[in-house]
Amino acid sequence: MLIKTDQTEIQNYLVDASNYKGNCEEVYFPETKEEVVSVLKSADSSKQKVTICGNRTGLTGGSVPAEGILISTDKLNRIIEINEKEKYAVVQPGVLLREFINLVEEKELFYPPDPTEKDCYIGGTIANNASGSKTFKYGPTRDYVIALEIILPNGEEIYLERGKFFASDNNLRLTSKSGKQLEIILPRYQMPKTKHAAGYFIKENMDAIDLFIGAEGTLGFITEIKLKLLNKPQNILSSVIFFNDENDGLDFIENARNESYKNRNENIFDNIDALALEFFDENSLKFLIEDFPNIPGNTKAAVWFEQEFSKENEELIFNRWIELIEQCNGNVETAWFANNINDREQFGEFRHAVSWKVNEYISRNNILKVGTDIAVPDSSFREFYFFAKDKVRESGINQIAYGHFGNSHLHLNMLPKNDEQYRVAKNIYTELCREGIKLNGTISAEHGIGKLKRDYLLMMFGEETIIQMAKLKKQIDPNLILNYGNIIDPKYYENI
Ligand SMILES: Cc1cc2nc3c(=O)[nH]c(=O)nc-3n(C[C@H](O)[C@H](O)[C@H](O)COP(=O)(O)OP(=O)(O)OC[C@H]3O[C@@H](n4cnc5c(N)ncnc54)[C@H](O)[C@@H]3O)c2cc1C
């Protein structure tokens, strides 16, 4: 197995897309499950800290080690099977999502979860329960995980299949491949009803597999994944609409969201049922205009939407969208409509570019961005949106706001110019989290907690629940070696 120790060679592995930086002594590149087992067993017996990394596109420092060793999944990158008949795939964690999606689509199949950043690994998306634009219709990564092969921190292997192992009265019993029993007492708390990726997934009588999805690598190393696939949609209508008033853009989202839910519930197929509903504010568009000069002048907001259609319902669906655009004062003349797959990919790139450019800006200027990942219930979203934007505007800090507004999920990015602005931005961020929690939302809808958002998880769930989470982790990882520092502030392990 390749092991890198030269500090200049491993620097790239000590930072993620949030620009959060760390340290470690060695980076391991296992090529087989057996190698992962052996590294974990040895680390566990010497109580050495181990961090796992995927392609390091995470935004919360989750894959960045503070000490010890790092295990990269770069070389665990085999697509083991794509079963076209039964519509599933079996992959190793280091498979690049972009390549997987392309391959699946060549076979006329469809894997919906696509975080805006497709250059991530599938293992990273499972560990973070990643979401993307299509989550509005198709849900998060969790919904597509059929089975996981996991190496526990002590090197024991478990295989969890959805629908096979359930908790009972908050107790979960698992048996490892070698026959060792693991009894886990689960925490008791309520998760918000919004899109949510903050802390462990806990539910009464839950399926064991759900505990490990979104656990940010704190409970085990995922070495193999079985994923559900769908039939590839026949055609997709993709469009970007520009508005001269921000409220019109928000009205458009709200109407399209309500109609989509209604038509979906009532199985109406020849009307609006969006796949994606993504919003960009005026400042986001200013960030993008250099690369996309055909953004019309005087635009205050834009919405990118997509919807599947067939030859039979194409006209009805298209006409209904045009009606809605006009009803919300969107400009049909300046709107972009995709005529082919290249156009559609361009619109996807338009969405990706806005988050990418923000990350590139912070990296170039060597600052830490302060960006929200808050989702609130649909009924409170507009109130929350203006509350957040007004707070930042009053501070004079540059901001750009965009996100998965179909899911009432806001990425508001503050771009502080100096330390003083950074301090102010952090205070505003705290206030926004408090407001999101007050509205029964979540402080993280998709990026997770990692090492950067632990204080806000505490704000959301309270100390007693964080201690319960720490106890959960300690039952599975008594020596606290794996992804130490993710989700839970280490101080909570002290007296348990
Ligand atoms: C421009 C941009 C846009 C983004 N947009 C979105 C978005 O829309 N939605 C979204 O959800 N995310 C988004 N992200 C965040 C990121 O892409 C996702 O979180 C992605 O899932 C991370 O995958 P990765 O391979 O880069 O994982 P990494 O960043 O390397 O790791 C993420 C976490 O997973 C753990 N991990 C990785 N592999 C394993 C494994 N095999 N077993 C156990 N734990 C493991 C790591 O320890 C770490 O805690 C965006 C990022 C960028 C840069």
- Supply the mean pLDDT for the chain: 95
Asked whether the beta carbons of 344 and 238 are under 8 A apart, the reply is: yes
Cα of 56 vs centre of ligand 1, distance in Å, is 6
Cα of 262 vs centre of ligand 1, distance in Å, is 32
Residue 442 CB less than 6 A away from ligand 1: no
Q: Which amino acid is at 225?
A: I
Give Cβ neighbours of residue 88 (< 8 Å, ≥ 6 apart).
81, 146, 226, 227, 228, 229
DSSP reduced 3-state for 424: helix
**Percent of the chain clearing pLDDT 70 (strictly above):** 100
Bridge partners for 238 per DSSP = 306
Does 420 score more than 90 pLDDT?
A: yes
460's enclosing H/E stretch is: helix 454-461
Residue 356 CB less than 6 A away from ligand 1: yes
135's enclosing H/E stretch is: helix 135-138
Give, in degrees to the nearest 5, the angle at Cα 410 between 408 and 416.
170
Does 476 score more than 90 pLDDT?
A: yes
Asked whether the beta carbons of 60 and 453 are under 8 A apart, the reply is: yes
pLDDT at 159: 98
pLDDT at 358: 86
Of all atoms in ligand 1, which is nearest to the CA of residue 122? 25
Helices (H) and strands (E) in the chain, counts: 14, 21
- pLDDT category at 339 given cuts 50, 70, 90 is confident
Residue 22 CB less than 6 A away from ligand 1: no
Kindly list the strands in the beta sheet with 88-91, ordered across the sheet, starting from the edge strand earlier in the chain: 79-83, 88-91, 221-228, 145-151, 157-161
- pLDDT category at 201 given cuts 50, 70, 90 is very high
Tell me the CA end-to-end span of the chain in Å, nearest whole number: 37
pLDDT at 360: 84
Mean pLDDT of 3-15: 94
pLDDT at 462: 97
Residue 216 CB less than 6 A away from ligand 1: yes
Probe ligand 1: pick from 73, 114, 120, max atoms within 8 Å of CB?
A: 120
pLDDT at 116: 84
Best CA proximity match to 277, nearest among 246, 309, 247, 302 = 302
Cα of 319 vs centre of ligand 1, distance in Å, is 38
Residues 142, 164: Cα–Cα separation, whole Å: 16
- pLDDT category at 36 given cuts 50, 70, 90 is very high
Q: Going by CA atoms, what residue is nearest to atom 2 of ligand 1?
A: 117
Cα of 124 vs centre of ligand 1, distance in Å, is 4
Residue 369 CB less than 6 A away from ligand 1: no
One CATH from 3.90.550.10, 3.30.70.1150, 3.30.70.2190, 3.30.70.141 for 234-353 = 3.30.70.2190
- pLDDT category at 435 given cuts 50, 70, 90 is very high
Cα of 487 vs centre of ligand 1, distance in Å, is 14
Residue 253 CB less than 6 A away from ligand 1: no
Residue 132 CB less than 6 A away from ligand 1: yes
Cα of 275 vs centre of ligand 1, distance in Å, is 22
DSSP string over 104-118: HHHTTEE-----S--
Does 495 score more than 90 pLDDT?
A: no
Residue 153 CB less than 6 A away from ligand 1: no
Mean pLDDT of 131-148: 97
pLDDT at 223: 98
Mean pLDDT of 467-496: 96
Residue 59 CB less than 6 A away from ligand 1: yes
Give, in degrees to the nearest 5, the angle at Cα 208 between 205 and 211.
100
pLDDT at 248: 98
Return the domain boundaries, the chain.
Answer: 79-231, 234-353
Tokens of 335: 């709107």
Q: Going by CA atoms, what residue is nearest to atom 20 of ligand 1?
A: 125
Cα of 125 vs centre of ligand 1, distance in Å, is 5
Does 361 score more than 90 pLDDT?
A: no
Chain center to CA of 89: 21
Mean pLDDT of 311-323: 95
- pLDDT category at 356 given cuts 50, 70, 90 is confident
Give Cβ neighbours of residue 265 (< 8 Å, ≥ 6 apart).
none
Give Cβ neighbours of residue 441 (< 8 Å, ≥ 6 apart).
192, 194, 374, 375, 376, 377, 380, 384, 408
pLDDT at 341: 87
Cα of 120 vs centre of ligand 1, distance in Å, is 6
- pLDDT category at 14 given cuts 50, 70, 90 is very high
Best CA proximity match to 275, nearest among 456, 379, 139 = 139
Residue 114 CB less than 6 A away from ligand 1: no
Of all atoms in ligand 1, which is nearest to the CA of residue 404? 8
What would be the CATH architecture of the domain defined by 79-231? 2-Layer Sandwich (3.30)
Does 82 score more than 90 pLDDT?
A: yes
CA distances from 341 to 64, 134, 443 (A): 36, 17, 35
